[in-house]
Amino acid sequence: MAANERLKPTPIIFFCVLSIAVIGYFMGLRSPMRGTQTVPKPLDAVFSNNASPQNSDSESSVIPATNYADIATASRLRAQQWKSRFALMSSVDPLAEVKIQPGDKLAALQQRDKNRAFNGAPPTIPHPIDQKSAQACMACHGAGAKTISLRIPRMSHHFLENCTQCHVESKPKHMPATVFRENTFAGLAAPTAGPRAFAQAPPQIPHATWMRTDCMSCHGLTGLHGIRTTHPWRKNCQQCHAPSATMDQTMLTAEPKFLPGPKIEN
């Protein structure tokens, strides 16, 4: 019976740990933040192109500690900064009318050419990749997205497993940028517009539709502004815009057979 009445050490240890935690919490609430640390840079400065750890001031990279009483407020403000920086533009109406100025299309085509070896070539990858899985590419480029500072184009063709078989890094980190083979090849310039049957007719598609089955990947919300469609509420593009007869020819294995014409008797 004396052994049962002996006080066990577990409740005492738990009480001591709880007491230390409570005391530490209230001491943190009363502890003022004093020191020589400077306020950390805002996210806009951190993610700007000119900001780099080598050029930044040593004091500006120090993040001061936060009082316990200010943790909730600091977390809320930080979350608002991240949301304003990377929030998807879901409030933009994807069916709103797009107004394009005369020079916007030319500027968009010039920007598009910078990311391709020649017109019609698959676009290069402008960011580092690990090349481990095609699902990593699909996470961003499967549906595409548009943020305040970033445009993620949507994949224009059906899913293919090996993305880097056609798309290569424009500035690879794992190898020096060298020319594989010297050549004098010069591609054709990107077409600015397709021909029309008459003045008010819809223009013909000025490029091949092979590997470009999703028109809205380039001409939709995630495309460059200068080549976006002015009527995104219409989904069946080829109902009005006919493919090119010279660029989308199909090689037939055999000559098609036609039924004989009707026999006309006098």
Query: Using one digit for the tens of pLDDT, what is the confidence trace for 234-258?
Result: 889 999 999 988 887 766 667 767 7
pLDDT at residue 50, as a whole number: 45
The residue extents of the domains of the chain are 89-177+205-244
State how far the Cα of 117 lies from the Cα of 190, in Å rounded to an integer. Answer: 12
Long-range contacts of 12-21 (CB under 8 A, 24+ apart): none
pLDDT at residue 81, as a whole number: 65
The rounded percent of the chain whose pLDDT value lies above 70 is: 74
State how far the Cα of 124 lies from the Cα of 117, in Å rounded to an integer. Answer: 8
Q: Which residues of the chain have pLDDT under 50?
A: 1, 34-59, 88-90
For residues 56-85, one letter each, b for 16 or more C-beta atoms within 10 angstroms of the residue's C-beta and e for the rest, the string is: eeeeeeeeeeeeeeeeeeeeeeeeeeeeeb
Contacts of 110 (CB under 8 A, 6+ apart): none
> Which tens digit of pLDDT belongs to each residue from 119-159?
889 999 998 888 778 888 998 899 888 877 788 999 999 99
pLDDT at residue 161, as a whole number: 86
State how far the Cα of 229 lies from the Cα of 237, in Å rounded to an integer. Answer: 10
pLDDT at residue 44, as a whole number: 47
Q: Which residues on neighbouring strands pair with residue 145, listed in sequence order? A: 152
